[in-house]
């Protein structure tokens, strides 16, 4: 699974993006920091919509992803 371009640059200037690969698959974690604790996500078809208090953006769900969650400002996409 590849990190979507929108998460690598542009919309995540203050965010820390990590990708973890192991035998169970791949996980992408994006920590938007404490200011995004009220962040919400919605998945519509193959598009993920991320809304924080001061911005909104969307990106295509990476191929192979089957779970998208958010908790305390951390977006997690996993296979």
The string of DSSP letters for 41-66 reads EEEETTEEEEE-SS-EEEEEPPTT--
Overall number of domains in the chain: 1
pTM of the model: 0.83
Quick check: helix, strand or coil at residue 79?
coil
Q: Which domain holds residue 12?
A: 5-78
Using a pLDDT cut of 70, give the percent of the chain over it.
94
Instruction: Give residue for tokens 């590849």.
Output: 2
Range in 2-11, 40-49, 60-69 the model is least confident about:
2-11
**Rounded to whole angstroms, how far apart are CA atoms 37 and 44?**
22
Is residue 45 over pLDDT 70? yes
CATH number at residue 68: 2.60.40
Helix (H) or strand (E) segment spanning residue 7? helix 5-8
Residue 29's pLDDT band, with cuts at 50, 70 and 90, is very high
Mean pLDDT for 2-26 is 78
């Amino acid at each position: 699974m590849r990190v979507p371009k929108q998460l690598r640059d542009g919309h995540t200037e203050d965010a820390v993006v990590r990708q973890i690969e192991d035998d169970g698959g791949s996980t992408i974690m994006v920590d938007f920091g404490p200011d995004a604790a009220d962040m919400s996500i919605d998945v519509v078809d193959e598009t993920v919509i991320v809304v924080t208090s001061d911005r909104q953006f969307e990106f295509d769900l990476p191929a192979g992803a089957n779970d998208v969650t958010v908790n305390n400002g951390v977006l997690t996409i996993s296979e």
